[in-house]
């Protein structure tokens, strides 16, 4: 099973890479058909990615979400899923175009991690693990989408070729709304993630909050998106500050995920 | 002036400022290792930095007075905001279903000359519209998700309870730790409870990795004479007499025998890290440093264990006489150390358990806060209030209008599509 997973993983990387290149070409040559093919490639990548995760789960005999490699590949999967849903729902291929490099970077990071399957230490053997990590994956995916949409929001005015952008990128009011909807999804799931993590920590370690760096950074991320919401309410969609917070929020997501494990070891460092 | 301060304290501007300060403080706290001494920080950073860290309480940032003050302000800010908004919200909640209110309000969008408004309501997944009349005109009206108006309010209340529950728990919680091998009984901190470790097992998988630590314990209340028993393992704590018992960790222990002139003088089970004072020569102390279950000696590294399995146990000890170091060495199973008339021997290597015993009466409050926060977030984001109404004009056609404050851009599009679909189905 793990061999099949390896092959599928390579195919997924190639598909994501091809879709990213096609998206770039779509923006460069402004050919709408290319965006449709890129979306299809991304969707095919997602299907194989799902199969790869299932193979990993069967091969390891547990949910594939417990080490740096497994979480990285699941993170890329979550971002791809949410970005495709938002691309479809808002008929907005630029979401896919901007997400593709982020997805590729994350899956590239996953490829650099050890794929060894290790037995779980007792503290990780909990039904809460699956819920805790799956909610994180959806939350991170949704924040990734709000990041790319907010970037588009911030870049929109600077674009020279107005006709292409006007055709492919909605008005700023709608961009703000799409970013807001993805933050809503992300924040709801991040809240689920933090609360389920606390319940689990309470059962495993007897303390539901211990200011472990990963906990602290998930709180920082949560608070940043709270600031985003309030700035948006206070200043309205025309103001750029909320969009900046969505960008900073995702940088914090990445830091919470990669930076904390690298620079600030704690119980979440998978060591 | 007072009014101004009051207004600022309840304002969203202040809320944003507080959240930003919290974000920066939490981030700083995560970079500075918490709970260390001045010497430690001096070593890690510099003398100046260490002095600054200690002076500003950044060594224990999350419990520092200034961090508590910020949390206090946040609670005050949230409570004031909720208090001020409650009456308005209540009014809006009631008005949400009033047709005359809708007619006099601004709208997100309006569409004229619609032949049949019924399908528009259906396409927008609105509840079945109620019929009414105003100024002699027929009106259809539907509103949904008005409960969503309370989302932010409930979320704010949840955050307040969460912070309060956490803060009160931190101030009042009891926390004890206890260790021992099967058969030992120990007092739980300074409480009246005696905890007996009836048995303790380390369960291994085929590859020698640990699958579970399991302990059977009985807790005896020395005041009432009552006892309660439970099995605990990692992720499965038990509540006994209002305290929660956690299987926290484990270590190695062994039986130590002291033999004097050929006969047994003293025998006890020592956990690694503990010492034994010889009964009739208290100046002679044996310290049990560590146990290597599968002993190997690695050049350049010293004694180590090849695996976690008890294949070749060895005991690292230190001997002191009158506080002077007599010697430190590794002893294999069956070997003895002799000091004058005294002989020491290690046997019966076994695991001891470390239990964590906790009581936090405010966990339920914090949990309730968490659930309310979640519920509030869900209501605010996924049950956004919207109203749709249709007024029949004199020519028989309808003007369909809608209002959605939070998602107007999307709602406008959805209405356009719904109108288009209903017009198409007519033609
Ligand atoms: C950690 C702290 C806080 C969290 C997690 C939080 C969360 C939220 C959420 C989820 C919303 C709904 C946003 C939306 O629907 O787009 C909201 C709205 C709001 N918040 Fe907060 N908030 C916090 C602190 C505060 C504070 C301290 C104030 C004090 C002024 C405040 C004032 C408001 C107001 C006035 C609204 C708009 C309410 C509405 O649209 O009905 N928030 N907040």
Is residue A131 a contact partner of residue A196, using CB atoms and an 8 Å limit? Answer: yes
The helices-and-strands tally (H runs, E runs) of chain B is 10, 21
Q: How far apart are CA B410 and CA A245, in angstroms?
A: 22
CB contacts, 8 Å: A189 with chain B? none
Q: What is the pLDDT of residue B408?
A: 82
Rounded to the nearest 10°, the torsion over CA B187, B191, B192, B194 is -20
Pairwise pLDDT comparison (B264 vs A162), residue with the higher score: B264
Span between the terminal Cα atoms of chain B, in Å: 65
CB contacts, 8 Å: B409 with chain A? 171, 173-174, 176-177
Residues B328-333 have a mean pLDDT of: 92
Give the DSSP letter string of A101-122. HHHHHHHHHHHHS-----PPPG
Which two three-digit tokens encode residue B138? 């027929």
Rounded to 10°, the helix B2-9/B65-95 angle is 80
Which two three-digit tokens encode residue B123? 């396409």
Q: How far apart are CA A260 and CA A251, in angstroms?
A: 12
How far from the centroid of its chain's Cα atoms is residue A1's Cα?
A: 26
Residues B248-264 have a mean pLDDT of: 92
Closest Cα in chain A, distance from residue B246 (Å): 7
CB contacts, 8 Å: B19 with chain A? 223, 226-227, 230
- Work out whether the CA dihedral A81, A86, A91, A95 comes out positive or negative: negative
Considering only CB atoms, A174 lies closest to which of B29, B378, B409, namely B409
Number of structural domains in chain A: 1
CB contacts, 8 Å: A219 with chain B? 26
Closest Cα in chain A, distance from residue B118 (Å): 25
Considering only CB atoms, B235 lies closest to which of A173, A203, A220, namely A203
Find, in chain B, the residue whose alpha carbon is nearest to that of A229.
Answer: B16
Which are the contacts of A134, defined by CB distance < 8 A and separation ≥ 6? A65
Question: Phi and psi at residue B360, in whole multiples of 5°?
Answer: -135, 105
Q: Give the pairing type, strands B302-305 and B314-321.
A: unpaired
Phi-psi region of B189 (alpha: psi -120 to 50; beta: other; left: phi over 0): left
Q: Is the predicted pLDDT of residue B16 greater than 50, yes or no?
A: yes
Q: How far apart are CA B334 and CA B346, in angstroms?
A: 7
Q: Is the predicted pLDDT of residue B210 greater than 90, yes or no?
A: no
Q: Look-up: residue for tokens 């965006």?
A: A35
Percentage with pLDDT > 70 across chain B = 100
Task: Calculate how far, in angstroms, residue B94's C-alpha sits from the geometric centre of ligand 1.
Answer: 21
Pairwise pLDDT comparison (A263 vs B418), residue with the higher score: B418
Residues B388-399 have a mean pLDDT of: 89
Q: How far apart are CA A159 and CA B23, in angstroms?
A: 33
Task: Calculate how far, in angstroms, residue A153's C-alpha sits from the geometric centre of ligand 1.
Answer: 23
Chain A interface includes B206 (CB < 8 A): no
Of all protein residues, the one whose alpha carbon is nearest to atom 9 of ligand 1 is B152
Is residue B90 a contact partner of residue B383, using CB atoms and an 8 Å limit? Answer: no
Closest Cα in chain A, distance from residue B169 (Å): 10
Show the domain range for A171: 123-263
**CB-CB under 8 Å, B236 with A203:** yes
Instruction: Tell me the average confidence (pLDDT) per consecutive run of 10 residues in chain A, 271 residues long.
Output: 84 93 87 87 94 89 82 92 91 88 92 80 81 94 94 81 75 88 96 95 90 93 96 82 91 87 56 33
Q: How far apart are CA B420 and CA B116, in angstroms?
A: 11
Find, in chain B, the residue whose alpha carbon is nearest to that of A217.
Answer: B27
On whether residue A112 sits in a domain, the answer given is no
Q: How far apart are CA B389 and CA B118, in angstroms?
A: 10
Whether B284 is in the pocket of ligand 1, judged by its Cβ within 6 Å, is no
Of all protein residues, the one whose alpha carbon is nearest to atom 30 of ligand 1 is B12
**CB-CB under 8 Å, B213 with A211:** no
CB atoms within 10 A of CB B424: 9
Q: B2-6, B7-11, B66-70 — which one is most confidently predicted on average?
A: B66-70
Task: Calculate how far, in angstroms, residue A227's C-alpha sits from the geometric centre of ligand 1.
Answer: 9
Tell me which of A53-57, B122-126, B133-137 is least confident.
B133-137
Name the residue ranges covered by the structural domains of chain B.
Answer: 2-88, 109-143+384-426, 172-248+356-361, 252-349
On whether residue A132 sits in a domain, the answer given is yes
Chain A interface includes B23 (CB < 8 A): yes
Which two three-digit tokens encode residue B130? 């109620």
- CA B210-B211-B213 angle, to 5 degrees, is 80
Of all protein residues, the one whose alpha carbon is nearest to atom 4 of ligand 1 is A226
Q: Look-up: residue for tokens 């991040």?
A: A190
Tell me which of A180-184, B22-26, B416-420 is least confident.
B416-420
On whether residue A139 sits in a domain, the answer given is yes
The pLDDT tens digits for B280-303 are 899 999 999 999 999 998 888 888
CB contacts, 8 Å: B151 with chain A? none
ipTM strictly over 0.85?
yes
Q: How far apart are CA A189 and CA A258, in angstroms?
A: 19
Q: How far apart are CA B339 and CA A255, in angstroms?
A: 58
Whether B78 is in the pocket of ligand 1, judged by its Cβ within 6 Å, is yes
């Amino acid at each position: 099973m793990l061999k099949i997973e390896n092959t599928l993983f390579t195919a997924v990387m190639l598909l994501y890479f091809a879709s990213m290149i096609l998206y770039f070409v779509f923006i460069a040559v402004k050919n709408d058909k290319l965006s449709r093919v890129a979306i299809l490639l991304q969707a095919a990548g997602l299907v194989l990615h799902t199969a790869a995760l299932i193979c990993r789960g069967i091969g390891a005999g547990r949910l594939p979400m417990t080490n740096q490699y497994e979480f990285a590949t699941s993170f890329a999967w979550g971002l791809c899923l949410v970005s495709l849903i938002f691309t479809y729902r808002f008929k907005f291929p630029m979401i896919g175009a901007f997400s593709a490099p982020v997805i590729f970077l994350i899956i590239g990071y996953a490829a650099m991690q050890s794929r060894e399957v290790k037995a779980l230490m007792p503290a990780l053997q909990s039904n809460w693990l699956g819920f805790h990590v799956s909610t994180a994956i959806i939350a991170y995916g949704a924040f990734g989408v709000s990041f790319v949409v907010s970037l588009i929001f911030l870049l929109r005015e600077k674009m020279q070729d107005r006709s292409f952008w006007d055709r492919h990128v909605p008005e700023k009011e709608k961009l703000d709304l799409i970013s807001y909807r993805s933050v809503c999804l992300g924040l709801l799931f991040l809240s689920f993630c933090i609360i389920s993590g606390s319940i689990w920590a309470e059962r495993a370690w007897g303390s539901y909050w211990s200011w472990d760096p990963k906990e602290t950074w998930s709180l920082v991320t949560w608070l940043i998106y709270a600031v985003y919401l309030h700035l948006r309410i206070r200043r309205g969609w025309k103001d750029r500050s909320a969009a900046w917070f969505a960008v900073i929020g995702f940088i914090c997501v990445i830091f919470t995920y990669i930076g904390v494990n690298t620079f600030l070891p704690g119980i979440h460092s998978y060591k | 002036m007072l009014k101004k301060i009051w207004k600022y304290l309840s304002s969203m501007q202040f809320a944003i400022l507080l959240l930003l300060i919290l974000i920066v403080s939490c981030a700083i706290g995560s970079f500075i290792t918490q709970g260390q001494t001045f010497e430690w920080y001096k070593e890690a950073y510099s003398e100046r930095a260490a002095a600054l860290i200690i002076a500003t309480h950044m060594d224990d940032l999350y419990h520092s007075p200034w961090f508590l003050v910020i949390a206090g302000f946040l609670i005050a800010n949230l409570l004031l905001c909720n208090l001020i908004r409650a009456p308005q919200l209540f009014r809006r909640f009631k008005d949400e279903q009033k047709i005359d209110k809708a007619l006099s309000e601004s709208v997100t969008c309006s569409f004229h000359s619609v032949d049949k408004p019924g399908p528009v309501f259906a396409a927008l997944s609105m509840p079945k519209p109620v019929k009414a009349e105003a100024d002699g005109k027929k009106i259809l009206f539907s509103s949904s998700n008005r409960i969503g108006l309370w989302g932010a309010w409930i979320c704010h209340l949840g955050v307040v309870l969460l912070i309060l529950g956490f803060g009160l728990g931190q101030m009042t919680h009891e926390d004890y730790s206890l260790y021992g091998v099967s058969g030992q009984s120990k007092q739980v901190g300074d409480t009246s409870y005696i905890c007996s470790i009836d048995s303790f097992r380390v369960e291994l998988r085929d590859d020698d990795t640990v699958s579970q630590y399991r302990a059977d314990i009985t807790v005896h209340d020395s005041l009432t004479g009552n006892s309660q028993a439970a099995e605990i393992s990692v992720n499965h704590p038990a509540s006994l007499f209002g305290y929660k018992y956690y299987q926290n960790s484990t270590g190695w222990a062994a039986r130590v025998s002291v033999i004097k002139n050929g006969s047994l003088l003293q025998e006890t089970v020592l956990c690694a890290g503990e010492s034994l004072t010889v009964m009739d020569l208290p100046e002679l102390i044996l310290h049990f440093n560590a146990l290597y279950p599968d002993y190997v000696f690695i050049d350049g590294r010293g004694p180590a264990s090849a695996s976690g399995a008890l294949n070749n146990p060895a005991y690292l000890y230190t001997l002191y006489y009158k506080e002077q170091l007599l010697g430190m060495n590794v002893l294999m199973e069956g070997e003895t150390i002799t000091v004058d008339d005294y002989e020491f021997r290690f046997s019966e290597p076994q695991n001891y358990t470390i239990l964590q015993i906790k009581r936090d009466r405010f966990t339920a409050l914090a949990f309730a806060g968490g659930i309310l926060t979640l519920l509030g977030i869900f209501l605010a984001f996924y049950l956004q209030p919207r109203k749709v109404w249709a007024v029949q004009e004199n020519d028989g056609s309808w003007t369909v209008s809608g209002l959605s404050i939070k998602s107007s851009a999307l709602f406008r599009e959805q209405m356009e599509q719904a109108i288009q679909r209903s017009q198409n189905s007519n033609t």
